[in-house]
Amino acid sequence: MTKVAPNLKRKATTLPEDVTAFQLISQRFVTFVFQCPALKKAKAQTHLESFFAGYPRFNYNPAAPVSAQYDALCRLYNWPKSERGATKSERSPREIAYAGYQLAMARTFRDIFGNDVDDLGNWQSLCRVLELDVIPQSLWGCQAAVREVHVNLVDLVDWAGTGAPIQKFDSLEDLGEYTRETRKFFPQGRAEESGLLVYLLRHILN
């Protein structure tokens, strides 16, 4: 009797259409994404990618901290920290790059967290990213809660690309020390243009 070999070909496993590869990376981060529907993760790096693309010699890594990427860019192009334009109206290459970098960060924050200060969903999403123990159910409650949190705004932008936990500080002094040591300064003028950012903005002497 002729034996027929069994069909050993495995049936392909298919994932539900609403499950993406990104969501499989970290269950904790997946839960975070589902809890924060207002966050636009797919667009998080668009403005920063556009900025770094203007410097073709630099190999930009969207999964790396943005401040480290900018420092690496400056080293690659040999821009001295003290470099200034020849006149007040003429900016140096480093000054031009820094202005573009600041603008890209501000626009990235706006894309991630929204710009409408009257949108409760935006505020609650921000509260979840900040890992507040209790998520307020009112605009006023969210705004008051966010004002009590001390975080570095550049770290918030990095969160979109790296998913790394955001460090919270007990005091403005501790935040200031961290910001100066890491040189993670967020452009104050740009922050004031974005509604939600103002509530997290802290004045730290450079």
Model confidence at 176: pLDDT above 70: yes
Concatenating the DSSP letter of every residue in the chain gives -PPPPP--PPPPP---TT--HHHHH-HHHHHHHHH-TT--GGGTTHHHHHHHHTSTTS---TTS-HHHHHHHHHHHTT--TT---SSTTS--HHHHHHHHHHHHHHHHHHHHH-S-TT-HHHHHHHHHHTT-SS--SSHHHHHHHHHT-EE-HHHHHHHHHH-PPPPEESSHHHHHHHHHHHT----HHHHHHSHHHHTT------
Quick check: 73 pLDDT over 90? Answer: yes
- Indicate whether 152 pLDDT > 70: yes
More confident site: 31 or 77:
77
C-alpha angle with apex 111: 173 to 184, nearest 5 degrees?
A: 30
The per-residue pLDDT for 30 is: 35
Average pLDDT on 33-54 reads 64
The pLDDT value given to residue 202: 72
Q: Is the pTM of this model over 0.85?
A: no
Task: List the domain boundaries for the chain.
Answer: 43-198
Task: Reply yes or no on whether the pLDDT at 140 is more than 90.
Answer: yes
Q: Is the separation of the CB atoms in 36 and 125 below 8 Å? A: yes
pLDDT at 84: 62
CB neighbourhood size of 118 (10 A): 8
Neighbours of 110 (CB within 10 A): 18
Is residue 42 pLDDT above 80, yes or no? no
Residue 39 has pLDDT above 80, yes or no: no
Other beta carbons within 10 Å of 28: 9
List CB contacts of 74: < 8 A, sequence separation 6 or more: 81, 94, 97
Q: How far apart are CA 117 and CA 114, in angstroms?
A: 8
